[in-house]
Structure 1
Amino acid sequence: MVVLVGIIGGCVYQTGGSARETMAAAELVEAVAVGSHMSSGRWRRSSPEPVVFAGGDARVSWEDGDDSVSIEVARFSSAYAAAGTFLLGDPTAAAAEDFESSPRSADLGVRAGADEQEGWCVVERGDGCHYWMYRARFGQYLLLATRFAPGRAMAQAEFAGYVDQFVHAMDATLPRG
C-alpha cells in the first residue's frame, strides 16, 4: 500500500504542473461556451445560463433534436488535486455500465493547451460511435466534453473538431502562469 501511494504521489507530483488563473467553474464554462462558437451553428443551447451543481462544477449543453453536446468544468483546490482525480477517476465507467458497452480509447488529435487529455468512444454500434467523451486537465481544472445521440453516429473527426474548439477556448481563457 505504501508503495502504491508513493507511486501515485510521484505521478501526481510530476503531472501536477502549474496552476492557471483562478475563476469560478460557472464563469469558466460560460467563457468556453462563448469562445467555442457552438451556438452559431446547428446547435441550440439547452439553457441560457450554465447549470451549476452543489459542489460548484458547472455545465453547458447544446441540442439538435435528440443529439446533444455538453461541456462540464470542475475546479479543484490545486493542480495536484486535479491531477490526482485525472489519474484515478474514470468518467466512462457509469456510462459504460448504463449502456452495457466497453469504451475504447480514441486519440482525438487535439494537441494544444491541456496538461493531460484522453478521449473515448463510450458506446459504439454497427454504424459508428453514438457516445463520445473527452477529458482534459488545465492546471487545477478538469474539462469533460461529451456528445450523445441515440439515433445517429458521429464520426471521430467531427467530435474532435468540437473538442478542439473547447480546448482552444479553455486555453485562451486560462493562459499558463
Structure 2
Amino acid sequence: MKKAIFLDKDGTLIQNVPYNTDISRVVLTAGAAEALRQFRHAGYALVVITNQSGIAHGYFDEEKFQALMQQLCAMLPVPLDGWYCCPHHPEGTIPAYAITCSCRKPQPGLILQAAEKLGIDLSASWMIGDILHDVEAGNRAGCRSALIINGGETEWELSPLRQPVFCAENLEEAAQHIIHHSITET
C-alpha cells in the first residue's frame, strides 16, 4: 500500500475560475508546481479529487471536462496517479446528474474509490483543499487533512469532521509541513 496526497483542483491546485473548461484560463496556484515535485520526491501518489457541479447544471459536459483534465495533466511538472470527478449536484438541471450521491465532497466516495483502485493506505495519506468540505471528505475517508487559507471557504461551519490538522497559505507550504511531519514520524 502506498501513501497519497489527494488534492482539490479549483482553488488548491489551480486558481479558481468558476465552471471553467478553457485551458488558456488555467493557472497553477502559487507554489503548486514545486509542491507536486516535493510530494513526488517524498514518495506520495498524487490524486486530484474534484466536485464539478457545472456538469449537473449543464454548463459543460463530461467530455469537455475530461479534455480539460488531460490538458491540465500535460502542463503539470510531474504526472498524476489519477483524478476523480463528481459530476453530481442535487439541484442540477441535467436529470442524470441531479442526484444526491456519495462521491460529492464532503462525502468521501471519490477518495475511497481512488484508494481502492490505486492501493492507497488512507491512514498514511492527506487530503488538501481550500474549503472545509475538502477537509471533511478527507477526514471521513480516514486521511489527515490540510486547509489552504486562500479566501475560498465561505461556510465556516466547524465540527470535529471539519477540523484540519493544519492550515497553510498555499500548496508549497502544505507540502513542506507534510513532508517534515512524515520525516519526524519515522
Q: TM above 0.5, one fold?
A: no
TM-score relative to the length of structure 1:
0.31
**Larger C-alpha radius of gyration, 1 or 2?**
1
Task: Looking at secondary structure, tell me which structure has more strand per residue.
Answer: 1
